[in-house]
Amino acid sequence: MQLENVNKEEENEIPEDSHVLHFWQPCKFEITDDFDYVNDNFLFNTFSNLLYIIAYPLLSIINKFFFGFKIEGKENLENIDTGKVTVSNHVHPMDCTMIGLANVPQKTFFTSLETNFKIPVVRRIIKLLNAIPIPQNIQYTRDFMDSIDELLKNKKTIHFYPEGSLWPYHNKIRHFKNGAFDFAVRNNVPVVPMVFKFNKGKKINNLIKTRTTITLVVQKPIYPNKLLEKKESILDLKERVYKSMCDELR
- pLDDT recorded at residue 208: 65
For residue 220, which amino acid is it?
K
Task: Give the percent of the chain with pLDDT over 90.
Answer: 66
Q: Let me know if residue 22 belongs to a domain.
A: no
Listed range (31-35, 142-146, 223-227, 245-249) with the worst mean pLDDT: 31-35
Query: Which H/E stretch holds residue 108?
Result: strand 108-113
CATH code at 202? 3.40.1130.10
Task: Give the percent of the chain with pLDDT over 70.
Answer: 91
Q: Let me know if residue 21 belongs to a domain.
A: no
Give per-residue pLDDT as tens, 68-92.
Answer: 999 999 999 999 999 999 999 999 9
Q: Let me know if residue 177 belongs to a domain.
A: yes
Q: Into how many domains does the chain fold?
A: 1
Q: How far apart are CA 12 and CA 196, in angstroms?
A: 24
Q: Let me know if residue 47 belongs to a domain.
A: yes
The CA-based diameter of the chain, rounded to the nearest angstrom, is 61
Q: How far apart are CA 107 and CA 24, in angstroms?
A: 28
Q: How far apart are CA 112 and CA 127, in angstroms?
A: 10
Q: Let me know if residue 15 belongs to a domain.
A: no
Alpha helices, DSSP H only, in the chain? Answer: 6-11, 42-67, 95-103, 122-128, 141-153, 179-187, 230-249
Q: Let me know if residue 243 belongs to a domain.
A: yes
194 or 3: whose pLDDT is higher?
194
- pLDDT recorded at residue 149: 98
Q: Let me know if residue 168 belongs to a domain.
A: yes
C-alpha gyration radius of the chain? 18
- pLDDT recorded at residue 92: 93
Q: How far apart are CA 82 and CA 190, in angstroms?
A: 8
For residue 3, is pLDDT > 50?
no
State the average pLDDT over residues 204-230.
87
3-state secondary structure (DSSP) of residue 187: helix
Q: Let me know if residue 115 belongs to a domain.
A: yes
Confidence of residue 1 (pLDDT cuts 50, 70, 90): very low
For residue 119, which amino acid is it?
I
Q: pTM score, two decimals?
A: 0.88
For residue 48, is pLDDT > 90?
no
For residue 250, is pLDDT > 90?
no
State the residue range of the domain holding 218.
40-249
